Amino acid sequence: MKDPKFQATIWQTLINFAKENKFFKPKDKILVGLSGGADSVALLHFVCQLAKKQQFFVYACHVDHQLRANSKQDAIFAKDYAKSLGVECFVKKVNVKTLAKKEKKSLEHAARTLRYKAFEDAAKKFNCSKIALAHHADDNAETFFLNILRGTKAKGLCGIPVMRKAGKRQIIRPFLCITREQIKKYLKQYDLKNVEDETNREDIYLRNWIRLKLLPLMLQKQPLLKEHILSITKELSNELK
């Protein structure tokens, strides 16, 4: 049985956010990016729950970046999890190190380029009009500070867009309204398992340093920091449209 408090807070927040942004319509074909991590596992589950009620179709895409020893196991987990929800999963293996070396990019940048290309290929295969990604309020706060530290114009302070055009398709982010901590509660509520990316605990990457060091310090002074940043980025995005 669902916890009434969960229903009234996290679940209702997600439902309201989906309605406000008109993410899903009957007969839509939605592709969900599925890494197998906590965020994407919860997102695929959420989208599947809505699909039953709103009569749209769901597919998944897992990208094996081949950067970690257990990446093959992650791909198997993702495919099995999608299957348990009745979702067809497209698995794409990419060579991040080769692209990074060839184009003199960081591994992070090369991985992102190949990941979005894989999402586009999967969306084309399944004829999906929207690609749902599991970025959340913490990711938005990290991006906000990452752009400040790297130097940015006003547009960079808009954070992660809730929705944006990507060729013929739209990228949507139904979880931007909730935090990492709330996603953990979502997983617990539905007893969902996920895989862990150990590189998320290494602060050699600037984003990870912001997540592991900077944000915890700032949250001690202002516990509502992530909510405040979400409000700022939303307002700036509307102003700059």
CATH superfamily, domain 4-240, is HUPs (3.40.50.620)
> Which residue shows structure tokens 């196991």?
73
Domain coordinates in residue numbering, the chain: 4-240
Q: What are the pLDDT digits (tens) for 190-205? A: 999 999 876 666 666 7
Q: What are the pLDDT digits (tens) for 82-100? A: 999 999 999 999 999 999 9
Q: Which two tokens stand for residue 187?
A: 């997983």
**DSSP states of 46-108 as a string?**
HHHHHHHHHT-EEEEEEEE---STTHHHHHHHHHHHHHHTT-EEEEEE--HHHHHHHHT--HH
CB 136 within 8 A of CB 41: no
How many whole angstroms separate alpha carbon 48 and alpha carbon 122? 18
What is the structure's pLDDT at 204? Answer: 62
The structure's pTM equals 0.92
For residue 30, the cross-strand partners are 58, 130
